[in-house]
Structure 1
Amino acid sequence: MWLLNTEKLTLEYFNEAQVKGLPYAILSHTWGSDEILFHELRGDQKALQGRAGWAKLDRFCNTALTHGLRYAWMDTCCIDKRNSADVSEAINSSYKYYYDSAVCFIHLEDVYKYADGASNSLGRAEVTRDQLLARLRTTRWATRGWTLQECIAPERRRFLASDWSEIQDGDDLLDALAESTRIDKDLLKDRDLLRNFCIAERMKWASRRQTTRTEDVAYCLMGIFEVHMPVLYGEGAKNAFKRLQREIMQSSLDTTIFVWHGNYESSGLLAQSPSDFAETPPLGLWAPQDLSPFSMTNIGVCIRLKIINDGNKLLAALQCNVQTPTGQWETPMIYLEPVLDADFVVQGKRWRAYRRIRCAELLTLPSKRLEGCSYEDIAVLQDEQYELVCQTKEHHVSRSMASETGSK
């Protein structure tokens, strides 16, 4: 782990044993266009000192030093982005970096303490506390993907305005932060409550955030879900997010991962983006004894669900509860469509293949409505598996027709 020496503004390397117990500051911020990178800081510093990125680095180190911290970590210059192994290690470890830090300084470059957007006092009046918090509610920092974990993981947070002056902590600041991030206030008070929040709720926090690299929409959530996976820039956001969900499924029995709604005519059981969880209502988990195992296989998500044949539509009950607008707890339902001629035999049992349809619709049913409904072992095909099934069926028909023609 590379750390900044806050006195010398130089980089020093520490192995895992050396870092353990070493107090360091860490910075959460939004990147500008003139940041100081790892290889630049390892070179001639004199050539850097007129740049905006140098001023940020210098102010951060000075802030850390005034808090008695000799070392600090900053993502712009403490990761060698020319080294793919270093990038992968840093991304997989970044949540831990913030969790283990002595203090996280959150610099809000667009939150000004003075009127008219001024960055210093120079004859201008300081805004009121309410005005300052209103600016905090709309800060760009709360819209970025990576800053989600940077908000949750640290034990101590210190918010800094654009001029690097500290924004006084308080319950009203937590209220503003909870409103802008949609993160539960209790979690903002105690980071170790993270496991109390279901998968869909955590996805909802990320649903309206953006990242510069498309794949980071998934990579920035690995720490939130306590999973690790290879970093493969170039795979695309959709593939990266599917890989993330597969990793989550391997160690979780939380079925809220399937409670999403997207504007798709048909889909598999996995979401395509965190944005699919944007309007997720309050959810409740079922007791383990009421759950059926589920897994991702080469034929899709295999799961046992209660199926209702309601006239001309099929409904499947997801194994969790959702709170309706009237305050009642009901079972979320999804619409299914059979994939014809695509049944599979899994461990001696026949599993019917389905696709999820009408994905934008939210339907719930009272638990009593499901009494007496039978369970069915099903496989819900993801896009790539569905396309392969359709392709193989088409090829099979073509071969059959060719054989019949040749035999005449």
Structure 2
Amino acid sequence: MRLLNTKSLELQHFVPNQVPDYVILSHRWASEELTFEDITKYPVSNPNSPARRKQGFSKVQGACKLAARDGYGWIWIDSCIDKSSSSELQETINSMWNYYEQSNIFYVYMADVPDSEAGWDRRFQKSEWFTRGWTLQELIAPAYVEFYTGNWSPIGTKLERHKEIANITKIDLDVLVQAESIDNFSAAERFSWAAHRQVTREEDETYSLLGLFHVDMPMLYGEGGKKAFTRLQEAIYNSMLDQTLFLFSYSSHRESQPLLADCPTRFCQIARCASCETRCFPSHVSYSDVFPTSNWSVQAHEQIMTTVTPFRNEISATISLIDDRDVSNRLMFLNDDESRTEISHVAILNHTLIDHIEGALCLLLFQPPDSEGVAFHRTRSFLALLPCVKEFTSRLQKQRILICPDPSSSDRNQRIDITFALDDDQFLAWSWSARCVNHRSAVPV
């Protein structure tokens, strides 16, 4: 970790177990910002350094003076990162949550908020800082945050203004003041806090969220925002087994939708969820549990790995299905604008809304005419609530579900499929794009 000395303005590297107390500066990038190259090529410790003539230097200098006044000798700013090194950039992005969490003070510099005498209160609420993707974890991770105007006048702390900030950002109040761990909130809720935030590079919409889920993953700039977000959801599901990843809304009116969302904005309407306590739900299973190598010959195992999950990431779990006719008069539809005529089955998830603790959230599915009774598509009406699950426990069918990329689909948006295992004697693996079923592979157990 590199830190800038607040008095000498010299950059120094520290190994993990020798990092001194430090503060952090958060700000919105503008023109002529100081970069790592500027600081190393033209050290700002030199009064005659050309880097001092850049507009961004005054911001760094102001933060250093503030830190020194508060008794801290070291400060971290994003100019401490060598962004020309992909390995360092990846390591830093994966470590940012820890950097923020371990900082003694987190300064937020709001250049677009004028001095208090000019009436900064309304401008504080409208500051662009609250709209950026990277600032979400910057707001949540550190315990102590101080806000400053463009003239370095104090606005207040996160704790002092927590109700106002919660109203601005829609982040749960208890998360802001760290009265409750972020780990107690579902993936869907955390994604909802990121909805509508802006980034410069589309992949950063995903990479800026890694700290919220304590997930490490490679930075692949150029892969596109949708693919990056899919990788993140796969990593989250594999580590958290959180079925709220399926609780999102698509605005388009297609006949069926991918099982995973393509961006955080899809979760903007999510309500507070809670885990169901109903014991009828089957436990989650891992990929290795679904296909234990001891039950497969080498050839058969290689075949299913090749034909069904040819890509690196795959997700598996167990899910409960029930015929729509059994519950159609009981379902509470949470998206009344869309047709429900296609629904044939309901997938019972292991989460409910906090106001309906005896119920369960459901995915609405239908069987295409050519599916031979095996495959299910997700309908446009993505979400419903079954108010009382216990009444239907005896009719629930436990189904094995596998989410994997579809190698036959040329449309990047439709690379996430759903596969059900319905037969005790053989594993029937179906995969399809959003348009139709496209292939079948049956491997005997």
Alignment TM class, shorter chain as reference: 0.7 to 0.9
SS in 1 for 2:347: strand
Q: State the partner residue of 1:337.
A: 366
Structure 1: stretches of 5+ with no match in the other structure: 115-124, 344-350, 397-408
CA pair 154-339 structure 1, distance change in 2 beyond 3 A: same
1:384 to 395, 400, 406: 406
Alpha-carbon offset, residue 378 of structure 1? 4.3
CA, structure 1 residues 340+42, in 2 after alignment: closer, same or farther (shift >3 Å)?
farther
The answer to whether 1:367 aligns with 2:388 is yes
Among 99, 108, 126, the alignment partner of 1:106 is 108
Which range is displaced more, 295-304 or 87-96? 295-304
How far did residue 371 of structure 1 move?
3.6
The answer to whether residue 205 in structure 2 is matched with residue 174 in structure 1 is no
Give distance in 2, aligned partners of 1:381 and 1:155.
37
CA deviation after TM superposition for structure 1 residue 258, in Å: 1.6
Aligned counterpart, 2:90: 88
Distance in 2 separating the partners of 1:154 and 1:142: 15
- Rounded Cα–Cα distance in structure 2 between residues aligned with 1:153 and 1:91: 14
Change (3 A) 1:306 1:35: same
CA distance in 2 between partners of 1:352 and 1:241 (Å): 29
Query: Residue 284 of structure 1 aligns with which residue?
Result: 274
Q: State the alpha-carbon separation in 1 of the partners of residues 226 and 6 from structure 2.
A: 40
The one-letter amino acid paired with 1:17 is N
Contact 2:278 2:358 in 1 (8 A): no
Query: What RMSD, in angstroms, separates the aligned Cα atoms of the two structures?
Result: 2.9
Q: Secondary structure at the match of 1:267?
A: coil
State the partner residue of 1:23. Answer: 21
Residue 310 of structure 1 aligns with an amino acid whose one-letter code is D
CA contact (8 A) 2:282 2:319 kept: no
Residue 293 of structure 1: which of 274, 280, 284 is its match?
A: 284
Give the % identical residues: 33
- Which string of whole-angstrom CA distances, capped at 9 and with x for unpartnered residues, describes residues 224-268 of structure 1? 101111111111111111111111112213321221112242233
Give TM-score scaled by structure 1 length. Answer: 0.82
Task: Pick closer, same or farther for the CA change 1:83–1:338 going to 2, 3 Å.
Answer: same
How far apart are residue 54 of structure 1 and its match? Answer: 1.0
| Amino acid of the structure 1 residue aligned with 2:274 | G
| 1:197 Cα offset (Å) | 1.3
Residue in 1 that maps onto 2:321: 307
Shift of 1:15: 1.2
Counterpart contact for 2:26–2:109, Cα < 8 Å? yes
- Counterpart CA distance in 1 for 2:128 and 2:14 is 32
Post-superposition shift, 1:66?
Answer: 1.1
Which stretch of the first structure deviates more once superposed, 305-314 or 275-284? 305-314
SS in 2 for 1:72: strand
Contact 2:158 2:165 in 1 (8 A): no
Unaligned 5+ segments in structure 2 are 288-307, 326-341, 411-430, 441-445
Equivalent position SS for 1:307: strand
Instruction: Choose which of 79, 82, 90 in structure 1 pairs with 2:81.
Output: 79
Q: Normalising by structure 2, report the TM-score.
A: 0.75
Q: Per the alignment, in what secondary structure is the counterpart of residue 251 of structure 1?
A: helix
Corresponding residue number in structure 2 for 1:188: 176
Paired residue type of 1:86: E
Q: Which amino acid aligns with 1:374?
A: L
Q: Separation in 2 of the partners of 1:395 and 1:181?
A: 44
Contact 2:145-2:158 at 8 Å conserved across structures: no
Residues in 1 aligned to 2:369 and 2:402: alpha-carbon distance in whole angstroms:
13
Q: Report the counterpart of residue 35 of structure 1 in structure 2.
A: 33
